[in-house]
């Protein structure tokens, strides 16, 4: 699943589930390493240590100067060019003099170990200072730290207030995560959370688009059950490389749920999710090859994709029986093909 580096998302809560229609045959993980069929809970990326360099840097994706509050000129320009040590040296004196935009930039560099040694505890202090001065990005990041409690004292009440402030200021990731907090705090009433999911989805947050798909699929959060609307949001999230949405959309296309049946498109989305590492999609892609749905039958690729999923810990009794029916030569070819698959 594509993620912006350095950001941690609160996992999508179990009270929003896609419901019947995506399950298929029983798939039981083997051993202690249990894999979630939907590809696992949403987790944030680990920090990305990166030394300062004088080489021509690659541009960073999705840079938005508004994240840091008022633009901080030379320091932000150095950050944008990938000259992180320079950015830190330029921003630090201004941060120490109380500039909230500089404080936010210093915190980000420390939190991600960009140009300086990773120091989440020190980053928390700068995020706190900038959050107090009203920078939405700092409010969002510090709220996450307060929820986590690893580098600051855990404080869910303060985290709630800061996350809400950042959400109301228009930070899309804060909007999504504040919706998650509301669901956690009151799982019996999702209606208030829907407002923030909708804002985040409109801003293009794939996690929020998937959450809305779940809401429409199950008719929760004040939403009437509407498979067509759910499928629209599944496709929006899938197009952003959200592998769980790709898996669900593929299954809905194959089943004709929420719109016309389309085996070829369903196969294409399933293949994309499988190549992206979604274990359940790898298993289901194998079954599409077996049944020749959206593709030509291919017993070798069917077995190969199931072997990939099996190596990741997923056991499907139906596919185990399918492997038993292959010849020794076919199994050998399938293993070799599996070794070359993602």
Q: What is the mean pLDDT of each run of 10 residues along the chain (342 residues)?
A: 41 45 42 36 32 35 53 82 95 96 96 96 98 97 96 96 98 97 93 97 98 96 97 98 98 98 98 98 98 97 98 97 97 97 90
Whole-model pTM: value is 0.80
What pLDDT does 312 receive?
Answer: 97
Scanning the chain, the segments in alpha helix (DSSP H) are 73-80, 84-96, 100-112, 120-132, 136-148, 156-168, 172-185, 191-202, 206-218, 227-238, 243-255, 263-275, 279-291, 299-311, 317-324, 328-340
Q: Is 134 helix (H, G, I), strand (E, B) or coil?
A: coil
* Burial per residue of 62-88, b for 16 or more beta-carbon CB atoms within 10 angstroms, e otherwise: eeeeebbbeebeebbebbeebbbbbbb
> What's the rounded Cα separation, in Å, for the pair 259 and 257?
6
> What's the rounded Cα separation, in Å, for the pair 140 and 167?
8
What pLDDT does 283 receive?
Answer: 98
Of 185, 103, 140, 181, the residue nearest 6 (C-alpha): 140
Q: Is 171 exposed, middle or buried (CB count within 10 Å of its CB: 0-12, 13-18, 19+)? A: buried
Scanning 25-171, the segments in alpha helix (DSSP H) are 73-80, 84-96, 100-112, 120-132, 136-148, 156-168
> What's the rounded Cα separation, in Å, for the pair 303 and 323?
7
Q: Is 261 helix (H, G, I), strand (E, B) or coil?
A: coil
């Amino acid at each position: 699943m594509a993620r912006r580096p350095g950001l941690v998302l609160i996992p999508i809560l179990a009270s929003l589930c896609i419901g019947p229609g995506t399950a298929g045959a029983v798939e039981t993980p083997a051993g202690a390493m249990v894999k979630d069929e939907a590809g696992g809970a949403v987790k944030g990326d680990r920090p990305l240590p990166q030394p300062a360099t004088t080489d021509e840097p690659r541009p960073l994706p999705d840079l938005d100067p508004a994240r840091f509050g008022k633009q901080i000129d030379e320091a932000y320009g150095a950050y944008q060019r990938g000259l992180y040590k320079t950015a830190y040296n330029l921003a630090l004196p201004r941060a120490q003099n109380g500039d909230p935009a500089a404080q936010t930039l210093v915190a980000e560099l420390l939190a991600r170990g960009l140009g300086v040694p990773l120091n989440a505890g020190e980053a928390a202090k700068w995020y706190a200072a900038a959050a107090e001065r009203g920078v939405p990005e700092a409010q969002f990041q510090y709220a996450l730290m307060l929820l986590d409690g690893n580098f600051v004292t855990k404080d869910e009440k303060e985290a709630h207030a800061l996350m809400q402030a950042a959400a109301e200021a228009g930070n899309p990731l804060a909007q999504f995560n504040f919706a998650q907090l509301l669901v956690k705090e009151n799982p019996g009433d999702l209606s208030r959370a829907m407002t923030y999911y909708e804002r985040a989805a409109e801003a293009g947050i794939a996690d929020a688009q998937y959450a809305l798909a779940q809401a429409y699929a199950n008719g929760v959060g004040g939403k009437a059950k509407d498979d067509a609307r759910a499928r629209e949001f599944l496709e929006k999230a899938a197009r952003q490389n959200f592998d769980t949405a790709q898996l669900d959309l593929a299954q809905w296309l194959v089943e004709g749920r929420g719109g016309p049946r389309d085996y070829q498109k369903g196969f294409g989305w399933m293949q994309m999710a499988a190549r992206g590492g979604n274990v359940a999609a790898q298993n289901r892609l194998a079954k599409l090859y077996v049944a020749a749905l959206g593709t030509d039958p291919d017993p070798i690729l069917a077995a190969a994709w199931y072997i990939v999923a099996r190596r990741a810990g997923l056991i499907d009794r139906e596919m185990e029986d399918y492997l038993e029916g292959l010849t020794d030569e076919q199994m050998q070819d399938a293993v070799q093909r599996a070794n070359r698959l993602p």
